[in-house]
Amino acid sequence: MVTAIVIPIICIYFYWITKKEMRESHEKWIQLKNIPEEAIISGRVMNVRESRQRFSHNRFVYVIDIKIQSGQSVWDVKKMIPIDGEQKLPQLQQGENIRVFGNWKEDYFLVARIEIIK
């Protein structure tokens, strides 16, 4: 009798927890489009590496890793674009001068917008 009551309650509880975590993961994935522009880095593109990475269970992001040389400094910059069918991927080439807007995370600069300087 106790198991007939407890097991459905446990199943409902874990279903509720799972839905909550999926909702939070989806919100974080969507927020990759809305990165605050708190700082600017400008310089010459040294290296560009593009990859597709898993963000959560069924969500993916397109990651562009860029090394930018600005004066004597070399900066690691990442542009993360949620893959949802509407994304426009920037076409960067080695040696181009660019200006990136975004903010600092742990050890890299997260980009919101990229401008190519002519």
Instruction: Please provide the DSSP assignment of 35-82 as one string.
Output: ----EEEEEEEEEEEEEEEEEETTEEEEEEEEEEEETTEEEEEEEEEE
User: Does 37 reside within a domain?
Assistant: yes
User: Does 20 reside within a domain?
Assistant: no
User: Does 75 reside within a domain?
Assistant: yes
Domain count, the chain: 1
**For residues 8 and 2, what is the distance between their CA atoms, to the nearest angstrom?**
11
Query: Over its length of 118 residues, how does the chain's per-residue pLDDT go in tens digits?
Result: 778 889 999 999 999 999 999 999 999 988 888 889 899 999 999 999 999 999 888 889 999 999 999 888 898 999 998 888 777 777 888 889 999 999 998 888 999 989 988 8
For 49, the domain range is 32-117
CATH number at residue 106: 2.40.50.140
Question: Could you tell me the pTM of the whole model?
Answer: 0.78
- Which of the 8 DSSP states describes residue 16? H
**For residues 27 and 9, what is the distance between their CA atoms, to the nearest angstrom?**
27
